[in-house]
Amino acid sequence: MKNIILIGFMGVGKGSVAREVIKHSNYIAIDTDDLIESMENRKIKNIFEQDGEKYFRNIEHNISLWLEKSVKNTLISTGGGFYKVENLKKIGTIVLLDSPFDEIIKRIKAHPNATKKLKKRPLLNDMKKAKKLYDERRPEYLKLADIVVDVTNKSAKECTKEILKKVKK
Ligand code: S3P
């Protein structure tokens, strides 16, 4: 089984989809943001505030090397900027969870923990900047993806079915 790497913009639902995929398959799941938080023993928000984005990206880079070398049969969910690592293609099959910017924001705001979800993501502090980042990244996400799943108005379960079907092909 090749690794599956979930990429996509902040808040698109990578974590929820990852949790659903492992319920219906034999993949083990890891999340690059969770790994970073446990390696650093602090929240991403604090890493950004205390050491800056460059420091964070460097940890992502180190994790990408480890994933390529040492991780197999795994569903890897990533932070929204992780796709920039140089070796992404070598890590596994890249699955993009795709949705329009407004739909992603609507979805985060509808969540019972919306305030927390917005607060923990430093790059969503300023909506204008976040939209700009989305517009820059979306073509890059599409270019890298082996599989694109439009997640708009779909449950994590529906997305999972689609992913597992497409990965098997
Ligand atoms: C980031 C996305 C975040 C987290 C960090 C940076 C980004 O992960 O890695 O705040 O650059 O898009 P999520 O996509 O899980 O929110």
The string of pLDDT tens digits covering residues 113-132 is 999 989 899 999 999 999 99
- Could you tell me if 13 and 76 are in contact, meaning their C-beta atoms sit under 8 angstroms apart? no
Ligand 1 contacts (CB < 6 A) are 10, 14, 33, 44, 79-81, 121-123
The DSSP call for residue 41 is T
Percent share of the chain, pLDDT over 90? 93
Residue that is written with structure tokens 């599989």 in the block: 147
Could you tell me the distance, in angstroms and rounded to a whole number, from the CA of residue 107 to the centre of ligand 1? 16
How many angstroms separate the Cα of 35 from the Cα of each of 38, 42, 49, 63, 144?
5, 11, 18, 9, 23
Phi-psi region of 72 (alpha: psi -120 to 50; beta: other; left: phi over 0): beta
pTM for this entry: 0.96
Candidates 6, 10, 36: which one to mutate for ligand 1, based on the most atoms within 8 Å of Cβ?
10
Tally of domains in the chain: 1
3-state DSSP assignment of residue 76: strand
3-state DSSP assignment of residue 120: coil
- Could you tell me if 104 and 12 are in contact, meaning their C-beta atoms sit under 8 angstroms apart? yes
- Nearest atom in ligand 1 to 31's CA: 15
Selection from 79, 98, 91, 83 nearest residue 163 by Cα: 98
Domain harbouring 121, CATH code? 3.40.50.300
Average pLDDT estimate for 68-87: 97
For 26-46, write each residue's pLDDT tens digit: 999 999 999 999 999 999 999
Could you tell me the distance, in angstroms and rounded to a whole number, from the CA of residue 164 to the centre of ligand 1? 24
What pLDDT score does 79 carry?
A: 97
Selection from 25, 32, 40 nearest residue 6 by Cα: 32
CA dihedral 152, 154, 157, 162 (to 10 degrees): -70
Name the residue range of residue 39's domain. 4-168
pLDDT band at 100 (very low <50, low <70, confident <90, very high): very high
Strand spans (E) along 32-168: 74-77, 93-98, 147-150
